[in-house]
Structure 1
Amino acid sequence: MEWNAVANFIKPELLIVLIACWVIGYILKKTPRVKDWTIIYIVTLAAIIAVCIILGLSVDSVLQGILCGAVAVYGNQLVKQAKKGVDE
């Protein structure tokens, strides 16, 4: 399954959560004491909490939160790898 297909599963009203996850990940990356491997977990947890606040606690909310966190991290990696490819 393509990541574009996964992104289509995210409800449109949760786009703000996706953007917030991207910003949170960027801030965490610039924070010296945060290890790189923990960023995905922190971003995903923040996304799940935010989506549960917006949509209410349910299995669908948790899944939407996981998708928001995953697409934010994937999007960030996609941009980084594209820049790296252009530089080489």
Structure 2
Amino acid sequence: MEWNAVANFIKPELLAIVAVCWVVGYILKQTPRVPDWTIIYGVTLAAIILVSLTLGFTAESFLQGILCGAVAVYGNQLVKQVQKSGDE
């Protein structure tokens, strides 16, 4: 599946939430007392809350929140892996 296909699942008005989730993940990563394995849960929870506040509390909002959080984490990992491959 291509990146564009995944991005098409997210409503265009929610792309700002993906960016906010990326920032939330960055902040959590910089926080010393937050273990790395919990960051994805924090980002996903933030995305679900933000999307629910934007679209209302529905099953679709829940799924859109999960997608926004997942795309934010995936995008972050994609950038990290590309940078890491350039260092070798």
What is the TM-score normalised by the length of structure 2?
A: 0.96
Once the two structures are TM-superposed, the CA of residue 7 in structure 1 deviates from its matched residue by: 1.4
Q: Percent identity?
A: 75
Once the two structures are TM-superposed, the CA of residue 12 in structure 1 deviates from its matched residue by: 0.5
Is 1:16 paired with 2:16?
yes
CA RMSD of aligned residues (A): 0.8
Structure 1, unpaired ranges of 5+: none
Counterpart CA distance in 2 for 1:4 and 1:37 is 27
Once the two structures are TM-superposed, the CA of residue 3 in structure 1 deviates from its matched residue by: 3.8
Count, aligned residues = 88
What are the Cα deviations for residues 11-46 of structure 1, in whole angstroms up to 9, with x where unaligned? 000011000000000010010000000000000000
Q: Name 2:25's counterpart in structure 1.
A: 25
What is the TM-score normalised by the length of structure 1?
A: 0.96
Post-superposition, which runs of at least 4 consecutive aligned residues in structure 1 deviate over 6 A? none
Counterpart CA distance in 2 for 1:71 and 1:30 is 20
Structure 2, unpaired ranges of 5+: none
